Amino acid sequence: MQKIFLTFVVIFAISFSACERAKQVITPDSVSTDPGATVKIGVIQPSGFATGFNKGAKLAGSQINSTGGLLGRQVEFVVMDNQEMRPRPSAEESIRIAKTLIEVENVVAILGPIFSTNSVQVGPVVTQLGYPLITGSSGTNVTATGKFVFIVASPVSAHGASMARFALDTAELGAKSAATLRQDQDVHSSDLTLAFEENFRELGGSLVASETYQQGDRTFDAQLTRIKDLAPDILLIAGFNPEVPLIAAHARNIGITATFLGSAGWDEPQKLFNILEDNAPLEDSYLPRNFSTETPETIPFVTAYQAAYMELPTDQSARGYDAMSLLALAIKNAGTLEPDMVRVALTNITDYQGATTISHFDENRHPIRGLTLHTIRNGQIERYKVVQP
């Protein structure tokens, strides 16, 4: 009888311990009492592009930690490089990193990737595993890859539509014809170009050429010669550095006089203005940005970023900051780290003010916000005007 009683006690103790462990895994505590516990956030950041994204996220994290952290825990970042020695970030490496961050590092959410081409590959992975992903990319179809995927920048479809209206506006560029040149097999460039072309035609403009180039190209003779012969008023160049300034210089050298319109892919000033010996070909170009250092509401962010890094923030710096700040707000509102509840809390955020202003997320988990057009003057990117997408 005594043996039976002791056996029952042992079985009960083991079962109770196992149940407690399961409870800790399945239902995260709303507030931690463990002073060593942290909230782990994954970041997918290419080492050679838009490094301000990670800096912005870490600035937000440090501010959160200085005011008590999240649910009584300090924020801890796990940053992984999806580029390494490659010319561009790798989609395959982005997938591997996402799985590692969730399954090995036990992060509660992921910030990044930067490139839409990578984000559309990572989206199905995080959705299958059930963890929020707030990307630094702006491809229109990025969020279509799963309900756990969010973007903090205006989708490039809004960029393209706004740029088309701006080009045709008789009070602005007053264009009648346009040509496009985009990087082939890149989601961001393709989405932007498609939206621009569709809206330009629908609003009465004439699209005279639609050309592509390959990542890594250094000569663009065939495409630009065809465009020159058609003499468009506008040339949309949808791509990244270093190709963008090389295209602009070549276009001017062969006599193309069209006004250049750009994409968010241009927005790395240190690269954009350090490829050519003379940046005159880029003068009077226009590009869309989600963020401007020249508006009053951004002053607190700009001041804090400069104090932390001794440099001005970029559009991607603002995206990283907003991604982390929005995630933190969702976790606080949810009162838990449970991923699906955090996802729901993200969809319900309204009237957010951080590095930028977001009214709310629409049904596609795209942010509703204004868009700022910038122009290049005297070798600097300057704010031009705010437009509504």
pLDDT at 292: 87
Cis peptide before 339 (omega within 30 of 0): no
Q: Which residue's structure tokens are 């907003």?
A: 322
pTM given for the model: 0.82
Q: Could you tell me the residue ranges of all domains in the chain?
A: 38-154+295-370, 156-289
Divide the 389 residues of the chain into consecutive groups of 10 and give the mean pLDDT of each group.
40 38 35 71 94 97 97 97 91 97 98 95 97 94 96 93 95 97 93 96 98 95 98 97 96 98 89 94 94 89 97 94 98 97 98 95 93 92 83
pLDDT at 16: 37
Which two three-digit tokens encode residue 329? 């707000």
Q: Are 181 and 260 in contact (CB under 8 A)?
A: no
pLDDT at 24: 31
CA 333 to chain centre: 23
Q: The domain 156-289 belongs to what CATH superfamily? A: Response regulator (3.40.50.2300)
Strand partners, 382: 375
- pLDDT tens, position by position, 316-367: 999 999 999 999 999 999 999 999 999 999 999 999 999 999 999 999 999 9
Residue 21's alpha-carbon distances to 11, 24, 26, 102, in angstroms, are 15, 5, 9, 19
Beta-carbon contacts of 131 under 8 Å, excluding residues fewer than 6 positions away, are: 102, 107, 108, 109, 110, 148, 339
pLDDT at 34: 61
Among the four given CATH numbers 3.40.190.10, 3.10.20.340, 3.50.50.60, 3.40.50.2300, the one describing domain 38-154+295-370? 3.40.50.2300
pLDDT at 6: 39
Q: Are 285 and 260 in contact (CB under 8 A)?
A: yes
pLDDT at 35: 53
Separation of alpha carbons 77 and 40, rounded Å: 6
- pLDDT tens, position by position, 183-235: 999 988 999 999 999 999 999 999 999 999 999 999 999 999 999 999 999 99
